[in-house]
Amino acid sequence: MQDLNKLQKIFDEKFTDTGLTKGAFSAPGRVNLIGEHTDYNDGFVLPMAIEKEIVMLGQLRNDRRVRIFDLGYNTEISFSLDKLIPLRKNTWANYLMGVMDEIQKAGYPLQGANLIFISNIPKGAGLSSSAALEVVTALTMVKLNLLEIKPVEMAHLCQRAENNFVGVACGIMDQYVSCLGQKNYALFIDCRFNDYDLIPFKDRNYQIVICNSKIQRGLVDSEYNRRREECKRATDFFTHRLGSKIRALRDVTVEEFKQYQEYLPEPIARRARHVISENYRVQTGVQALRKGNFSAFGQLMIESHHSLKNDYEVSCTELDLLVDLALSEEGVLGARMTGAGFGGCTVNLIERSYINCFKKSIQNEYKKITGISPDIYVTLPAEGAKVLELR
């Protein structure tokens, strides 16, 4: 938990007390354990919320203005709820504006507010700092305005904000887990039916360790959209062959894929193979975790990385290096890139007693080869968005 007292002090210095409802809220980032690029194919994912978050403090105003202070960047933005238009500068504010826009479009009335926030989720690292910003904004505005919006609806609303206002065609995973994450559990999400199951992920012997390659995810937007189109082409192919029961790649079985793959052009065949096999890995991985079989789960993580590297082609040299280095260490059960790819982080499943050695060794080796000092975070599954107590 970040320093709420400090935030409160700065809030009081910046804004005059309106005497209206005030509150503090937080939303976490996430790491995806397995199930990459499957969410927008109506598939399965297994992310968990991490112990890094955005904390927001807010108070309602008597008018329709919103003033937001970003403590990290030390910048303030102000706008009216009647005029929500994406900004070209200070684009971080678009995440907040987009959420307010979607809340209003969904028919909920909003009053203006003074807001301040601080984040310890590294930006551009693939740990969903943008989803956390959307979700904490949604929760703040919903609670201050005394609205009733359920977490799953809130996640969809935040996804729409990113799709429509920010202009990124992301799936539902990041917002979903930031809203609904639970301490000590990973979230097995069925992205077609918006159902989820809690999968226990606390074991005295194992821990999740995240390695940040510090490579900014440059190509991510254009390549992400291209992958989505390629998946659409693969889906159309299978609908044509197998009928209307195929609405997304989620509906194609591994056997059906094998039967038809030779008729699919490249790289569409490999893209489809990744998504279809990854959905299978998520389901198998969930069964393994339920039985406490962490080594089987680790093996699936390794297979997932190969598939993302060779078939989906969303990895990069540095992520591959981090995975190779990790797998040459003792006590590592699994390692893979996590998130959209092209930079960002890897996620590793490690025996607890080896963590210190792992950290030292990865830091040295990665630095020796790339000249970059990686950041390494050890985390347990954390709680999703929540209300904080103000003193």
Minimum distance from CB of 190 to ligand GLA (Å)? 14
Minimum distance from CB of 274 to ligand GLA (Å)? 11
Count of residues making up the chain: 391
Cβ nearer to ligand GLA, comparing 37 with 156: 37
Minimum distance from CB of 155 to ligand GLA (Å)? 11
Cβ nearer to ligand GLA, comparing 115 with 215: 215
Q: Which of 39, 42, 174, 311 is catalytic?
A: 174
- Please enumerate in sequence order all residues whose Cβ is within 8 A of that of 114, keeping only pairs 6 or more positions apart, or say none: 11, 14, 15, 18, 58, 59, 61, 66, 67
Minimum distance from CB of 335 to ligand GLA (Å)? 17
Could you tell me the end-to-end alpha-carbon distance of the chain, in angstroms, rounded to an integer?
Answer: 15
| Preceding amide of 267 cis, omega within 30 | yes
Cβ nearer to ligand GLA, comparing 37 with 273: 37
Secondary structure class of 117 (helix, strand, coil): strand
- The tokens for 224 are 């992400």
Residue 375 among the catalytic residues: no
Alpha helices in the chain (DSSP H): 4-14, 92-105, 129-144, 151-160, 173-180, 220-242, 254-260, 268-290, 294-306, 317-327, 355-370
Secondary structure class of 73 (helix, strand, coil): coil
Cβ nearer to ligand GLA, comparing 195 with 203: 195
CB 24 within 8 A of CB 7: yes
Our CA angle for 162, 168, 171, nearest 5°, is: 75
Q: 341: left (phi > 0), else alpha (psi -120 to 50), else beta?
A: left
Q: Mind giving me the DSSP string for 132-159?
A: HHHHHHHHHHHHHTT----HHHHHHHHH
Cβ nearer to ligand GLA, comparing 46 with 302: 46
Minimum distance from CB of 194 to ligand GLA (Å)? 14
By CB under 6 A, name the binding residues for ligand GLA.
Answer: 32, 36-37, 39-40, 170-171, 173-174, 339-340
Catalytic residue annotation: 174
